[in-house]
Amino acid sequence: MSGHSHDHDDPDYSVLPSDPALRVKSLETLLVNKGLVDPAALDAFIDSFQNDIGPKNGARVVAKAWCDAAYRERLLADATSAIAELGFSGIQGEHMAAVENTDDVHNMVVCTLCSCYPWPVLGIPPTWYKSFEYRSRAVVDPRGVLAEFGVELPEGTSVQVWDSTAEIRYLVIPKRPEDTESLSESQLAELVTRDSMIGTGVISPPGDSNDD
């Protein structure tokens, strides 16, 4: 193969920091400085995938589980396959488990080592999910953390904390709110929030807006 010339210097990737997050930030800075990436467009894309595109996929999974008992059973038995039925799979979603909130148990997800997160159904993890404070406190004081998110659980409801890893990631199936029997599956999906599928939020009945 013949050689080719460049009219610019290639970045020296060997000088980038070893931490993955810092490496990504450094690469982003290099691309922005070279005019190859519009930072405003990049921010808009990340915001959309974090708060809109990704969570809407998970909301469809939850709504179908609420409406279809057979699908719910498949989801609880083999979440990876059941989620793939709806077309959601890929990197960060290869090994999924679904856990269901009930009157007795409220589930909450954390990744204590880094920020493992089910991208195909929830998008990009929020900043707080990756923070050391959340990763450390969610395990030792889950009720305190939930209270800071505005979630107050009855005393009889226990909190089960699930630690995501590279081998398995979790999706919380939140409790279906009351007075939603007349809603269609698509209407129910509109009620499901990102935080409720992490376990740091609950779903309010239609007309209320207590969850992000």
Express each pLDDT in 52-108 by its tens digit. Answer: 567 999 999 999 999 999 999 999 999 999 999 999 987 766 899 999 999 999 999
Question: What is the C-alpha separation between 140 and 150, in angstroms, rounded?
Answer: 18
User: Which of 111, 131, 164, 184 does the annotation list as catalytic?
Assistant: 111
CB 137 within 8 A of CB 107: no
Of 24, 28, 197, 18, nearest to 117 by C-alpha is: 197
Question: What is the C-alpha separation between 167 and 204, in angstroms, rounded?
Answer: 32
Task: Give all domains of the chain, ordered by start, each with its CATH number.
Answer: 39-175+183-198 (3.90.330.10)
* Region label for 74, one of left (φ > 0), alpha (ψ between -120 and 50) or beta (otherwise): alpha
115 is catalytic: yes
67 is catalytic: no
User: Which of 67, 89, 114, 204 does the annotation list as catalytic?
Assistant: 114
User: Which of 115, 158, 184, 204 does the annotation list as catalytic?
Assistant: 115
| Residue 158: strand pairing partners | 105
182 is catalytic: no
pLDDT band for position 12 (50/70/90)?
very low
User: Which of 18, 116, 204, 209 does the annotation list as catalytic?
Assistant: 116
Region 181-193 average pLDDT: 96
CB 62 within 8 A of CB 136: no
Reported as type and span, the H/E element at residue 124 is: none
DSSP state of 53: I
111 is catalytic: yes
Look at strands 105-110 and 96-100 and give their pairing.
Answer: unpaired
Question: What is the C-alpha separation between 174 and 62, in angstroms, rounded?
Answer: 8
